[in-house]
Amino acid sequence: MKAILVLNAGSSSLKFALFSLQPGLADEAALSGQVEGIGAEPVLAARDGEGNRYREPLTVTSTSRTEQHREALTHLFRWLSAHNPALEIVAAGHRIVHGGENYSEPLLLTGPALRQLQKLVPLAPLHQPHNLRAVQAVAALMPEIPQVGCFDTAFHRTQEPVAQAFALPRAISAEGVKRYGFHGLSYDYVARQLPDVLGERAQGGVVIAHLGNGASMCALREGRSVASTMGFTAVEGLMMGTRTGSLDPGVLLYLMEQKGMDLQALTNLLYKESGLLGVSGISQDMRTLIASDKPEAAEAVDLFCYRIARELGSLAAAAGGVDALVFTGGIGEHAVEVRERVAARCGWLGLKLDAAANAAGALRIDAPDSKVAVAVVPTNEEAMIARYTVEVLGL
């Protein structure tokens, strides 16, 4: 079986998916899973296209994080070969969070390209190093296969300059401090499904809400990104699982001055201690909060939905109106109550849900008399990466 290996590497995890090229590339992965617990007690967990599940511990001996990723990949390659002896990996596609100003399309990851991407680490220090580490590990283990980088920022490079600018001194902006936007691979995949889901409305003003542990929204016009809630980093915009979302910068100055919080403390606050977890004090998992009868849980869910509805108003202005609202991501696809609460705050748009369709998780969930189409479209970032890899390499 000839296949594309898709990798999404984090600091302590390595998500993977295997897409068969025979016959042709399908959106459904033949095998997917992750190596989790890198740096502690790594475990490989996987599921094949028939629903069979696999789980086994890994032994990692190195203390270097680069070597740990390489050991995890070595184990993964061996496991994949044992699972399917006829497997032939012909290329690898990677999710790379930041492409900066220059990379608006996927590209073949050569030495010069990797050196340029390494320079972008300061723009995404929590993600970029791990993404590139996986590329280096594959190159060391399977130097004969080509690798393609697919960027989470690329989809948003169609935004006009005014949508990307901060009101900062020009010298700072010239150094690349601007709004980049993220979750682009998800938005790209969903946008390609919209003509079949929305018909002519897909070319109008569309807002996609990618709601998960990381959450953002994107406004589209004629299928192209015109504005997004995430900006210079993946912490701006919506409240998330453990991230604050947009926050008055004065709050950070206050915490530095009055609480003596340093860079590491503020980083932990912004990325790991806030959001649904911080507000509820219970969990970052939306399912847990919706099932809870504690008022703190209800407050967290309500704030999450309020922020989505408020950002929708902003994105409606950027898109010149809203013809459709599309939910995607783990929460967007599965949390019936979140969709219901968001819609209840958007009646001013003429948006109405069909309660039965929403409860059933139908593809279209707008009521017949709704002025705004509402849809639930599952995303598939891995399939998007596989598709790009095939296109770049001409496979």
Spatial CA neighbour of 206 closest among 194, 216, 193, 189: 194
Residue 68 and residue 62 in contact, taking contact as beta carbons nearer than 8 Å = yes
Query: How far is Cα 330 from Cα 262, in angstroms, rounded to an integer?
Result: 33
Is 369 a catalytic site residue?
no
Please state the length of the chain: 395
Spatial CA neighbour of 351 closest among 324, 378, 311, 314: 324
CA dihedral 345, 348, 353, 358 (to 10 degrees): -30
Spatial CA neighbour of 214 closest among 336, 128, 328, 339: 328
DSSP string across 16-37: EEEEE-TTS--SS-SEEEEEE-
CA atoms within 13 A on the CB side of 172: 9
Q: Which residues pair with 366 in a beta bridge?
A: 353
Structure tokens belonging to residue 144: 């004969």
Residue 294 and residue 282 in contact, taking contact as beta carbons nearer than 8 Å = yes
Residue 316 and residue 207 in contact, taking contact as beta carbons nearer than 8 Å = yes
Instruction: Name the catalytic one among 152, 188, 323, 366.
Output: 152
- What is the identity of the amino acid at 233? T
Secondary structure E strands in the chain? 2-9, 13-20, 31-36, 43-48, 53-57, 88-96, 107-108, 147-151, 205-210, 216-221, 224-228, 324-328, 373-376
Task: State the CB neighbour count (10 A cutoff) for residue 52.
Answer: 10
CA atoms within 13 A on the CB side of 267: 6
List the catalytic residues: 152
